[in-house]
Structure 1
Amino acid sequence: MNLSGFLLNLLISAGAVLVVMLIALGLAVRRGRHDGIDAVWGLGFAVIALVTLAVSDGDLVTRLVVTGLTVVWGVRLAVHIHRRNHGRPEDPRYVALMGRATGNPVWYAFRKIYLIQGVIMWFVSMPVQAAQYETGAFGLLGWLGVLVWLVGLGFEAVGDQQLARFKADPGNRGKIMDRGLWRYTRHPNYFGDACVWWGLYLVACQHWIGALTVLSPVVMTAFLTKGTGKALTEKNMANRPGFAEYVKRTSGFFPLPPRTGGSR
């Protein structure tokens, strides 16, 4: 691996992330709302992968595979979130956050929304960047990573589609989604997201420097389970009728057969 090239790539990708976040901030100020950053989240990872592809010098197959996997995941997520938010009011999270703004609201939004998400994006993407500097041939560990990625994308995409179809039916208003993949895990989309990043990490593990980026999927999984993913979602749903019973019979994250009684 070209270690000096990889370290330089980290600086270049940081600059690319900053540009993406500044563009997102400018569009948000023009629109008067900040929930567009949720769609930019996936696109930002795609930009990092493409920038790294352009400047890296590792095995071509590995570079193309990692970039392709990251772009497919990022674009799918961005399109899904854009469709979900289109025509709806501003996300209450950002309304509440901007309601606490002090000083210049644009500078406040940059620090509290865009800069934080940009730093996390850059850190989580390290396996994608490291993998593209591996000079060895794409091997068994790489294919295992692709398999884990496929499982993750399947759970995420199918789960999102099932939930969207459920919410589109007026007869389901006020009900808890407990069908399809949601019968086996309360968060198939977040579980799938975690698998995607562990899969990309496995591809990076074909070199020992890539293996050192393990904190990247760990941080992503922590956000999905303890941060703005599962924990926040369930906090907002805690008072919904039937949710307590759903929690008792359904796994919180890893897919498992539903229990017939008692708590898990």
Structure 2
Amino acid sequence: MTSLTGSTAATLSGTVAPPTVQAALLGSVVQIATLSAVWLRYTSVASCIPDPRGCWHDPWARQVLITLTICLSLWLLSLRTIRSKGTSDPSIVDRLWSILPWLYCWHWYGSAPTPRGLLLATLASIWGLRLTANFARKGGFSGGEDYRWAEIRTWPGFDRGWEVFNLLFICGFQQLVILAFSSPAAAAASSDVPLNALDAAATALYLLLLAGEATADRQMMRFQTEKYRRLRAKEPLGAEFGRGFLCSGLWRYSRHPNYFCEVAIWWAFYLFSLAAGLPLVNWTISGAAFLTCLFVLPHASLDVTEVLSSRKYPQYAEYQATVSRFFPLPPLPAGERAPMRPVDAVLIGWFCVGLAVTFFVDIEAVLVQRPDLYGLDAAHTPLWPPEPCVRAVRWWSAADPLMHARPVWFRAAIWVEVLVQAPFYAVAIYAFVRQRSWVRVPAVVYATVLLTIMPIVLAEQYFGPHASRRPLLVTAVYGAYVLMPVLLLVRVWSVDVFPSTPLAKRKAAGLAGGEAAAPAARRVRSPARKRA
């Protein structure tokens, strides 16, 4: 993509070694196969296999066939640039990113008009028109290959497998992802559930995130326009523009606030499928999930963008050390962040698992009062937790009868987990990622509560009326709820849980965050690049 504001030459080495072309192609195949399996299993697409002509009368299946045709057409169209440029140019895919979703939504609304379908088509159009206008202002429609594809083309091995990568990932998988994250509108088109409070909440969240994305884009456009104006006029850049990249406004809390809002917008869009009456976890979730992966996985869009920024700007490494990569968070003071200890990574993983177990599994014990009637009537079938989680609890109850019996004291313990432990998990994830020593007191309280409850639970498992017939298995699972609190207590034993390291000392030691050490670190990890 040609930028109308200007461009900065890359003068430093990158920070992330690229994947092999074999890994990239395998990832594309796996992702396409997963999406296809979901659609074949849970949608009307499966009926297209014996009779493709019959699918033309089904709005969703018809759109899938149209999108597959678009994938092939875009690939063939990208090949037309070989003669003039020597390489194919898939940038037309980027130019359609903000156009196709709202066209899909209007197609489904036109096929089965409903108030919710009209709402979704309108919201998608607002998003698409704004993003298209912003893309045009940056020069996205003025020609030229997108800078990310130009970068990926230089990765080792991609010159040989480029056209296969172009077909599978750029023209194939990305088009299927666009269709997937638009799919809640297809689900809404087939629903007769009237508009409700969840529609209103999802609309408000969608518009809030849209405003956030517009604000981030506007701040970046103003910064780049002024920076290159000063460069062309040979005026002093000053500290802000001399740095080369934006780190104020929303960019102070996330290195990619526009990407965060973009991904979150389509998670808000997914909520409309729930408002339309679909289960909490339904087939349309694949779109938002795969879109998230498209941005945040290793070597995905965020990594490619950051590699290029780190080559242009010497101070970008310090920005990376103090500002959250994706989720908006308060920035760290410069020079206070030390490398994460292995034990901290283990504890963060434990906190994430604890959150998931609490709200997807254990909460079933207090929300489902009569497990034997679950699924038989609405009074005993709450919206949460999802049905697969309830089935998992039933499976585990064979080894842990306490989960099925759920006496009063056990339900009280689960409420303590929901109201005390789960909030701590969320707070602790933030504190350990951002290295905040104030986590010590809540960590001690959490560990003490858990170490008080677990002996009671284990005693019931071994000796009580609901004793397990598989005590070794139960011990192996519940033992983690004893060992991890002990590990946490040991970790926060010192009052200064995360001692700060002076910036000058870290520079001298060559640790991350110092400008003097950062370029050398980048060069060590960077792959060899071809010379033109």
> Same fold by TM-score, threshold 0.5 exceeded?
yes
Query: Could you tell me how far 1:22 is from its partner in structure 2?
Result: 5.2
Query: Could you tell me how far 1:45 is from its partner in structure 2?
Result: 1.0
Asked whether the equivalents of residues 201 and 214 of structure 1 are also in contact (C-alpha less than 8 Å), the reply is: yes
Q: Choose from 36, 59, 70 the match for 1:9.
A: 59
CA deviation vs aligned residue, 1:195-229 (integer Å, no higher than 9, x gap): 21111111111112574022321221222222533
CA deviation vs aligned residue, 1:231-256 (integer Å, no higher than 9, x gap): 22223223422112212222222222
Instruction: Give runs of aligned pairs for residues 185-224 of structure 1, distance below 5 A.
Output: 185-206=254-275, 207-209=277-279, 211-212=281-282, 213-224=284-295
Per the alignment, in what secondary structure is the counterpart of residue 260 of structure 1?
coil
Matched with 1:3 is: none
Matched with 2:146 is: 91
Q: State how far apart, in whole Å, the 2-side matches of 1:218 and 1:179 are.
A: 29
Query: Could you tell me how far 1:174 is from its partner in structure 2?
Result: 5.5
Q: TM-score, normalised by structure 1?
A: 0.83
Matched with 1:140 is: 197
Matched with 1:78 is: 132
Matched with 2:300 is: 228
Structure having the higher helix fraction is 1
Q: State how far apart, in whole Å, the 2-side matches of 1:174 and 1:253 are.
A: 21
Instruction: Give runs of aligned pairs for residues 4-153 of structure 1, distance below 5 A.
Output: 7=44, 8-21=58-71, 24-25=74-75, 28=78, 33-56=89-112, 60-84=114-138, 85-87=140-142, 89-95=144-150, 96-97=152-153, 100=159, 109-153=166-210
The percentage of counterpart residues that share the same residue type is 24
For structure 1, which segment, 251-260 or 175-184, has the greater mean C-alpha deviation from structure 2 after superposition?
Answer: 251-260
For structure 1, which segment, 139-148 or 29-38, has the greater mean C-alpha deviation from structure 2 after superposition?
Answer: 29-38
Taking a change above 3 Å as real, the CA distance of residues 53 and 143 of structure 1, as seen in their structure-2 partners, is same
Q: State how far apart, in whole Å, the 2-side matches of 1:217 and 1:200 are.
A: 9
CA deviation vs aligned residue, 1:55-78 (integer Å, no higher than 9, x gap): 125xx2211111111122123223
Q: State how far apart, in whole Å, the 2-side matches of 1:124 and 1:61 are.
A: 20
1:225 partner letter? V
Q: State how far apart, in whole Å, the 2-side matches of 1:199 and 1:255 are.
A: 17
Asked whether the equivalents of residues 90 and 171 of structure 2 are also in contact (C-alpha less than 8 Å), the reply is: no
Asked whether the equivalents of residues 39 and 77 of structure 1 are also in contact (C-alpha less than 8 Å), the reply is: no
Q: Choose from 245, 260, 263 the match for 2:333.
A: 260
For structure 1, which segment, 14-23 or 242-251, has the greater mean C-alpha deviation from structure 2 after superposition?
Answer: 14-23
Query: Could you tell me how far 1:86 is from its partner in structure 2?
Result: 4.5
Instruction: Give runs of aligned pairs for residues 239-250 of structure 1, distance below 5 A.
Output: 239=311, 240-250=313-323
Q: How many residues align?
A: 255
Gaps of 5+ in 1: 1-5
The structure whose RCO (Cα within 8 Å, separation 6+) is larger is 1
Q: TM-score, normalised by structure 2?
A: 0.44
Asked whether the equivalents of residues 185 and 251 of structure 1 are also in contact (C-alpha less than 8 Å), the reply is: yes
Q: State how far apart, in whole Å, the 1-side matches of 2:257 and 2:200 are.
A: 23
Asked whether the equivalents of residues 127 and 200 of structure 1 are also in contact (C-alpha less than 8 Å), the reply is: yes
2:331 partner letter? P
For structure 1, which segment, 153-162 or 72-81, has the greater mean C-alpha deviation from structure 2 after superposition?
Answer: 72-81
Q: Give the greater-gyration-radius structure (CA).
A: 2
Matched with 2:526 is: none
Asked whether the equivalents of residues 155 and 191 of structure 1 are also in contact (C-alpha less than 8 Å), the reply is: no
Q: State how far apart, in whole Å, the 2-side matches of 1:131 and 1:137 are.
A: 10
Taking a change above 3 Å as real, the CA distance of residues 244 and 19 of structure 1, as seen in their structure-2 partners, is same
Query: Could you tell me how far 1:30 is from its partner in structure 2?
Result: 5.5
Taking a change above 3 Å as real, the CA distance of residues 19 and 50 of structure 1, as seen in their structure-2 partners, is farther
Asked whether the equivalents of residues 194 and 220 of structure 1 are also in contact (C-alpha less than 8 Å), the reply is: yes
Q: State how far apart, in whole Å, the 2-side matches of 1:29 and 1:117 are.
A: 17
Query: Could you tell me how far 1:92 is from its partner in structure 2?
Result: 4.0
Query: Could you tell me how far 1:165 is from its partner in structure 2?
Result: 1.4
CA deviation vs aligned residue, 1:20-55 (integer Å, no higher than 9, x gap): 445645664566633121120121112211111111
Alignment partner of 1:162 is 2:219: yes
Query: Could you tell me how far 1:192 is from its partner in structure 2?
Result: 0.7
RMSD between aligned residues: 2.8
Asked whether the equivalents of residues 148 and 198 of structure 1 are also in contact (C-alpha less than 8 Å), the reply is: no
1:205 partner letter? L
Per the alignment, in what secondary structure is the counterpart of residue 170 of structure 2?
helix
